[in-house]
Amino acid sequence: MTLMREADVIDLRSDTVTKPTPAMLEAVRNATFGDHGYLEDETTLELEGECANLFSKEAALFLPSGTMANQVALRCHTIPGDEIILEHNYHINYFEAGPTADLAKVYPNVIITNDGILRAEDIEEALFNKSRTKVGSQAKLVCLENTINSCGGRIFPLETMAQVFALTRQAELAVHLDGARILNACAATGIEPSSYACYTDSLTLCFSKGLGAPFGSILIGTRELIEKARRYCKWYGGGMHQSGFMAAAALHALRHHRHQLACDNRHAKYLAELLAGLNLLGIDPAGVETNIVLMDTQQMSVSSTAFSELAKAKGVLLYPWSRTIVRAVTHRDVTHPDIEEAGRRLRDVVGALHERCQ
């Protein structure tokens, strides 16, 4: 087997793999070098202000990662022993159960839905299906995710967010939105970021995903919450001092790449269309709403890891998500011809497996 040259490899493992553009690197070169610990870095303050404005909230805090941004948010909304309500597929549960147990030390009341969408009635059930007393764990926070990574980038509908938010006002709960890819949802629906954000008390956004910066996330909320968040960010080791050059890349991504996310969404749909005809990967292009395509390898009797290895040998990198689910994510460094080529190579992989099964 011939090894692929790096240039031939189409990397669809995640949208975190993009390289900075020359214009982004130029913005990095021109960044300021004030110390953000003293709130003296102009570029970082500009980024925080611009994000707060985009989502019509009071304030924002630049953090190293989406995980840290979520964890700082949990810490701000709760005290140890409190309960948070979320869906089992969400990143905060799926990948952050360990950090949540260690850092915020809250009890996750995990709900399983068939589509990843946590509805007001699910939350009501979680709140009232057992008798609650003042000495028991206190439910404080509902966590949502938009788009839903584990559910193939599904968009969490705005109306459902509104219903959840209305319930939480009555029940005195806060709402945190893990919006790592919220701007992919905005690109797909045409709904303004602030329209989603108005049904949250806090939200996060990743610059290192589809926006194409090499680094960073932001937590957005009220001035009071962000004050608190600055303290926990420091506690967790996320105080970054001269963060201007990183903020410059994020700011450039936000200003210049945001409106190109629709293209990534279209590419994912196109990849799904190229593969759907095989009827062997459980793909329905109509279900591809943003930039993620999930493929199910079960019908071919191979594991997701084995399928990913075969795809890698053909020069397509995929992420084995669960036992038989493989994830492909489109991003700004894959072009339309790349998607076409990835489709061809994956059809070859499936073809060879199918023959073997006959």
Give the footprint of ligand PLP on this chain (CB under 6 A). Answer: 65-67, 70, 91, 145, 149, 178, 180, 206, 208, 217
Shortest gap between Cβ of 119 and ligand PLP (angstroms)? 19
The CB density around residue 301, as the number of other CB atoms within 10 Å, is: 11
Residue number of the CB closest to ligand PLP reads 66
For ligand PLP, the closer of residues 251 and 300 by Cβ is 251
Nearer to ligand PLP, 302 or 334 (CB): 334
Cβ contact 107:81 at 8 Å: yes
Task: Give the residue with the Cβ less far from ligand PLP, 67 or 308.
Answer: 67
Q: Which is nearer to ligand PLP, 184 or 297 (CB)?
A: 184
Shortest spacing between CB 66 and ligand PLP, in angstroms: 2
Which amino acid is located at 69 in the chain?
Answer: A
Pick the closer one to ligand PLP by CB: 151 or 350: 151
Nearest to 212 by CA among 36, 23, 54: 23
Q: For residue 319, what are the β-bridge partners? A: 327
Cβ atoms of 180 and 66 closer than 8 Å: yes
Q: Which is nearer to ligand PLP, 289 or 343 (CB)?
A: 289
Q: In angstroms, what is the minimal distance from the CB of 264 to ligand PLP?
A: 14
Residues present in the chain in total: 358
Q: How far is the CB of 91 from ligand PLP (least distance, A)?
A: 3
DSSP states along 59-99 = EEEEES-HHHHHHHHHHHH--TT-EEEEETTSHHHHTTHHH
- Nearest distance, CB of residue 181 and ligand PLP, angstroms: 6
Closer CB to ligand PLP, 67 or 304, in the complex:
67
Element of type H or E holding 28 = helix 22-29
Strand-pair category, 319-320 with 325-329: antiparallel
Cβ-based nearer residue to ligand PLP, 315 or 321: 321
Q: Shortest gap between Cβ of 238 and ligand PLP (angstroms)?
A: 11
Please check whether residue 104 is in contact with residue 78, taking contact to mean a CB–CB distance below 8 angstroms. yes
Least distance in angstroms from the C-beta of 320 to ligand PLP: 16
- The three-class DSSP label of residue 111 is strand
Residues 176 and 144 sit within 8 Å (Cβ to Cβ):
yes
Question: Which CA distances in Å does 295 have to 35, 280, 282, 287, 327?
Answer: 45, 9, 6, 12, 6
Comparing CB distances to ligand PLP, the nearer of 15 and 41 is 15
Half-sphere exposure of 30 (CA within 13 A, CB side): 8
Long-range contacts of 97-104 (CB under 8 A, 24+ apart): 99/67, 99/71, 100/71, 100/74, 103/71, 103/74, 103/75, 103/236, 104/71, 104/74, 104/75, 104/78, 104/80
- Rounded to a whole number of angstroms, the minimum distance from the CB of residue 209 to ligand PLP is 6
Nearest-approach distance from CB 2 to ligand PLP, in angstroms: 33
